[in-house]
Amino acid sequence: SFLDPWLLFPLWHLAFSQILMTYHMPLLSVYAEHTFGADVVWSGTVQLVSTAVVCISSPLLGMLIDKFGPCKMMLASCVFLPLVYVCVGPLPLLTFLAPSRTQLIISLAFLGLAVPMACISALPVMFNVYRAAHHGHLPTWVVNSLVSLYCAAFPAGIFIGTTVSGFIAPYASFGWSTGILGLFFIAESIVCAIYCFKVMQMDKKIEKPKKGANAIKYTTISKGESDPEG
């Protein structure tokens, strides 16, 4: 079934990346004004840093996925996302990293690079998992269903991130709240890394297409169509 939790796990990773992408946004302007004495224009403009990097880096990351595979890109996101997010505040435990405008801009830029690592890789990873479980076949109706769920994961993560930040803001500083969220993400990253290694092992077991009657066919079959192999 396309609702198999194993198949849909990348959607959780994608949604969590959107939580990290948006958690700080409602708080960032107030934080910058109080901490750096930044004016409204600077405080608003700095939020464009991460989104601008997402736009620029996404095509390049897509080419890297074609070369190295989506699971390796998802693994990279497991490493970089928590490391970057503890630096956004920064986490007060990181005594070597003092809050500054430069520190904030660089952290947001790296966040804009790490988030699409999780987002772009999620869909091809799900396709690979389904193919591995169904002898190389990927029906069109499954593609449509997974793409729909993939699109829904973005607003789900954004909603959670921006809503939770509003509830936590009165009780924790910007540095502590973003830093602790980054630390929590380490646990999710460990689970996701294990998942990626398992999927890569599954991918190796799929027979590559060869010429001949016994070759496994990598096809898309519309719902209602018959399987040519019975």
Q: What confidence category does residue 217 fall into, taking pLDDT thresholds of 50, 70 and 90?
A: very low
Q: For residue 165, what are the contacts with CB-CB under 8 A and spacing of at least 6?
A: 22, 23, 24, 25, 26, 27, 177
Phi and psi torsions of 129, nearest 5°: -65, -45
Asked if 174 and 85 touch (Cβ cutoff 8 Å), the reply is no
- Where do we find the tokens 């996701």? 192
* pLDDT tens figures, 96-114: 999 999 999 999 999 999 9
Tokens at 44, concatenated:
């608003």
Phi and psi torsions of 53, nearest 5°: -65, -35
- Where do we find the tokens 């069109």? 140
| Cα 132 to Cα 21: distance, rounded to the nearest angstrom | 31
| Res. 228: pLDDT tops 70 | no
Asked if 215 and 86 touch (Cβ cutoff 8 Å), the reply is no
Reported pTM = 0.83
| Cα 16 to Cα 23: distance, rounded to the nearest angstrom | 10
- Where do we find the tokens 């990598």? 218
* pLDDT, position 136: 82
